[in-house]
Amino acid sequence: MSIVIPKSLKMGDTVALISASGATPTERLQPAIEAVEKLGFRVVVGETCRTRHGYFGGDDALRAKEVNEMFANAEIDGIFCIRGGYGATRILPMLDLELISNNPKVFAGYSDVTALHTVFNQICGFVTYHTPMPSTEFIKENMDEYTWEYFIKSVTNTNWSDYLLENAKDDPLETLVSGAATGQLVGGNLTLVTASLGTPFEIDLKGKILFLEDIDENVQRIDRMLTQLSTSGKLNELAGILLGGWTDCGPMDAKNPENNLDLITVFEEILAPLNIPILMNVTCGHMLPTMSLPLGKTITMDATNKTIRVVG
């Protein structure tokens, strides 16, 4: 299936803010709206940004209905997930995937949004954008020029190709396994990628380049998830792997170092034996600075020379 590139956003376009996952803290909503408006976009605020159902931005029916409606609404040019959290996987069976397929538009977010990226890329067939989000990074005082530049270029120049995905200054890429590969870029948050296994929305990794990152998971849990991906056979289908940020992913037992493995050892023991190109320390994830990634586009990674290029 060929992948559709959504129409670029331009200044003055209307962007919908939604929460397909967690509830938005009340004090963050107005600053998030203002941050998007400062970029030059009109803002429509979804009901899910103002609603709470426990830890969700509204119940499942509301969150799914809002996703469907924002894609169906011809006056909405792009959709930014205001935050992550948890809940996107619960609404997947309630999405009108045919409607969404017929109305591709810029869709941006990360973390729990990974569940939606996977479905929109491989079932609906259009490119989506792994980006920072309005109620989290956009309103932080340390939101930096590198992060803004990648975000703005991604959503306002969706046909952008033949360019390098370059790390932030003084933060070099690192080689785990050398070699080069070309494939469609997929993935996002490790927890969400793993959670897709065994479901109708299971991630397709055949011939793909998989990007992974996570936050607040100790090394043992990361080990468990990578082991599950490995024993499922999914990792054997890959062309290459990009490893991003692992924020606050420390040891299981900080008081007893002898009871722990470090993250690099886990990568060496589970991922390196795949004998495919693997790059580490990609500036992307629950971190600042962070780059934006065009999920669904074709990239070439050269782990030997430590380069990543978007080629189509």
213 flagged as catalytic: yes
Distances (CA, A) of 285 to 146, 226, 308: 14, 17, 16
Q: Is the pTM of this model over 0.95?
A: yes
pLDDT, residue 253, reads 74
List the catalytic residue out of 66, 137, 213, 217: 213
Active site residue 111: yes
Task: Indicate which residue of 21, 66, 117, 286 is catalytic.
Answer: 286
Q: Is the dihedral of CA 45, 48, 52, 57 positive or negative?
A: negative
Residue 286 is a catalytic residue: yes
Residue pair 81/109 in contact by the 8 Å Cβ criterion: yes
3-state secondary structure the chain: CCCECCCCCCCCCEEEEECCCECCCHHHHHHHHHHHHHCCCEEEECHHHCCCECCECCCHHHHHHHHHHHHHCCCCCEEEECCCCCCHHHHHHHCCHHHHHCCCCEEEECHHHHHHHHHHHHCCCECEEECCCCCCCCCCCCCCHHHHHHHHHHHHCCCCCCEECCCCCCCCCEEEECCEEEEEEEEEEHHHHHHCCCCCCCCCCCCCEEEEEEECCCHHHHHHHHHHHHHCCHHHHCCEEEEEEEECCCCCCCCCHHHCCCHHHHHHHHCHHHCCCEEECCCCCCCCCCCCEEECCEEEEECCCCEEEECC
Handedness of CA 228, 19, 285, 116 (dihedral sign): positive
Q: What is the pLDDT along the chain (312 residues), one digit of tens a residue?
A: 689 999 999 999 999 999 999 999 999 999 999 999 999 999 999 999 999 999 999 999 999 999 999 999 999 999 999 999 999 999 999 999 999 999 999 999 999 999 999 999 999 999 999 999 999 999 999 899 999 999 999 999 999 889 999 999 999 999 999 999 999 999 999 999 999 999 999 999 999 999 999 999 999 999 999 999 999 999 999 999 999 999 999 887 777 777 789 999 999 999 999 999 999 999 999 999 999 999 999 999 999 999 999 998
Catalytic residue among 111, 135, 196, 292: 111
Cβ atoms within 10 Å, residue 15: 24
